[in-house]
Amino acid sequence: MTGARTDVEQVERANTAFYEALERGDFDEVSDLWLDTGTRDALDEDDAVDSSDEETAISCVHPGWPVLTGRGEVLRSYALIMANTEYIQFFLTDVHVGVAGDTALVTCTENILSGGPPPEGGGELGPLVGQLVVATNVFRRTSDGWKLWSHHASPVLAETDDEEGEESPS
Amino acid sequence: MTGARTDVEQVERANTAFYEALERGDFDEVSDLWLDTGTRDALDEDDAVDSSDEETAISCVHPGWPVLTGRGEVLRSYALIMANTEYIQFFLTDVHVGVAGDTALVTCTENILSGGPPPEGGGELGPLVGQLVVATNVFRRTSDGWKLWSHHASPVLAETDDEEGEESPS
């Protein structure tokens, strides 16, 4: 990593690395890219906690899912998704990076192509499915680079992303 | 506001104030609660911009919508939603607040009850609709209090928010 890289470039690389790790099904890399605040959030996997004791618990929303909070819940969800995904590719568009102090906010469109495991009779892949998803990813600057604090992804159900006065969702 | 209030309490109040302003249809208050980085983002309403020139452009995702970026797009969307909403109430649950430096991350479940304008023949309200939505709200600390940098809301399509080993969405 060259010293001349700007914050925005570094954040964009971290964001890209996250999706590439998902494409490879690289669970260790995905785990490493999520903020690790030590063991603090291991205690609250099943409780909503708002004490200032664990100020940076990670959170994650997959498309259509409720909020997952803490490394336990979040990483288990990725293990589950990886186990049920034979193939996944993200074509990122509309990537927008903002940085303020030690926090970065990335919005992007995830054009997803994915397939499940092969059907029972064998074969190569389950049917490929395309999905249009938008994501807001929040990163924190750490001594080990930019790490994900929050990922929120959701399906785009409206028919347009051009705002020309008729942007009401159908 | 007492000086003894913690960051977490202040953020939770800002988050509550945002939903209360939406319930009242108070456009000025909603505008005031969104981060205002001056005129910088007035230039980029129709372009995805990642220059470090406008590092804190606001972004907003309504359930099922694409990403809206910049105060122009975001505030227009609220004007549009308010024009088409006669009644809306948010019952917030699972509110989780994290604070790191001058950034705060709030996740919550928005249990929404809303109704459109009355039908043509008159009457009081359009039909009431319930919606289960989860949100990730990012706030920045400013001299004028905590302001929204990003709001991402999405419909919950899975049937459970209890993670007991069967959390696969249907």
Maximum alpha-carbon separation in chain B: 54
pLDDT band at residue B158, thresholds of 50, 70 and 90?
low
Q: Comparing A46-55, A60-69, A88-97, which segment has the lowest mean pLDDT?
A: A46-55
Q: How near does any CA of chain B get to the CA of A162, in Å? A: 8
Q: A101 and B97 in contact by Cβ < 8 A?
A: no
Neighbours of A17 (CB within 10 A): 17
Q: What is the mean pLDDT of residues A30-40?
A: 83
The candidate with the shortest Cα–Cα distance to A92, out of A150, A15, A5, is A15
Residues ≥6 apart with Cβ < 8 Å to B61: A107, A134, A136, A152, A154, B67, B68, B151, B152, B153, B154
pLDDT over 90 (residue B91): yes
H/E element holding B108?
A: strand B103-115
Torsions phi, psi for A158 (to 5 deg): -75, 160
DSSP conformation class of A52: G
Maximum alpha-carbon separation in chain A: 54
The candidate with the shortest Cα–Cα distance to A109, out of A95, A121, A97, A120, is A95
Residues of B in contact with A57 (CB under 8 A): 96, 98
pTM exceeds 0.80, yes or no:
yes
Q: What is the mean pLDDT of residues B112-121?
A: 81
Residues of B in contact with A65 (CB under 8 A): 134, 156-158, 167, 169
Q: A105 and B149 in contact by Cβ < 8 A?
A: yes
Residues of B in contact with A134 (CB under 8 A): 61, 65-67
Residues of B in contact with A152 (CB under 8 A): 61, 136, 152, 154
Q: B64 and A161 in contact by Cβ < 8 A?
A: no
Q: A156 and B64 in contact by Cβ < 8 A?
A: yes
Q: What is the mean pLDDT of residues B85-109?
A: 96
pLDDT over 80 (residue A146): yes
Whose tokens are 């302003």? That residue is B21
Q: How near does any CA of chain A get to the CA of B142, in Å? A: 12
Question: Rounded to an integer, what is the distance from CA B69 to the centroid of its chain?
Answer: 13
Q: How near does any CA of chain B get to the CA of A54, in Å? A: 7
Give the number of A-B residue pairs with CB atoms closer than 8 Å.
198
Which alpha helices (DSSP H) does chain B contain, by range? 7-24, 27-33, 70-83
Q: Which residues partner with A153 through β-bridges?
A: A135
Tens digits of residue pLDDT in B49-89: 434 344 789 999 999 999 999 999 999 999 999 999 999 99
CA distances from A109 to A5, A68, A91, A134, B97 (A): 24, 21, 8, 4, 26
pLDDT band at residue A2, thresholds of 50, 70 and 90?
very low
The candidate with the shortest Cα–Cα distance to A76, out of A53, A58, A90, is A58
> What is the rounded distance in angstroms from the CA atom of residue B73 to the CA atom of residue B83?
15
Q: What is the mean pLDDT of residues B99-121?
A: 90
Residues ≥6 apart with Cβ < 8 Å to A123: none
Nearest to B101 among A46, A67, A102 (CB): A102
